[in-house]
Amino acid sequence: MLLSELQSKDVVNVVDGGRLGRISDIDMDTINGKIISITVRPNTRLANFFSNNNNAVIPWGQIVKIGGEVIIVNYSGYVK
């Protein structure tokens, strides 16, 4: 799967059923080639593209399922 395919999917939180947004960045371990976490930018018109104030950083282990349309996460943390 390509990064562009991941970025086009909505991220939904299984904890409350809310839409968190879409993936804006991925943190990778370049030595092992594994994804460490994803950064999710909210889907709001007021969110500034260059601002990290409202982003959620979700560890890869909290991703429950990557489906055709959405990515389901188990995220109980606060939006960063």
Q: Is residue 80 part of a domain?
A: no
Q: Is residue 11 part of a domain?
A: yes
- The per-residue pLDDT for 54 is 77
At 1-55, the pLDDT tens digits run 777 888 889 999 999 888 999 999 999 999 999 999 999 998 765 545 555 567 8
Whose structure tokens read 């970025």? 7
- The per-residue pLDDT for 30 is 93
- The per-residue pLDDT for 4 is 82
User: In sequence order, what DSSP letters do the residues of the chain get, joined into one string?
Assistant: --HHHHHTSEEEETTT--EEEEEEEEEEETTTTEEEEEEEE---TT--TT--TT-EEEEGGGEEEE-SSEEEE---S---
Q: Which residues pair with 47 in a beta bridge?
A: none
Q: Is residue 14 part of a domain?
A: yes
Counting the structural domains of the chain, the total is: 1
pTM above 0.85, yes or no: no
pLDDT at 58 over 60: yes
**Domain coverage including residue 36:** 3-73
How is residue 10 written in tokens? 């909505």
Q: Is residue 78 part of a domain?
A: no
In contact, 31 and 44? CB cutoff 8 Å: no
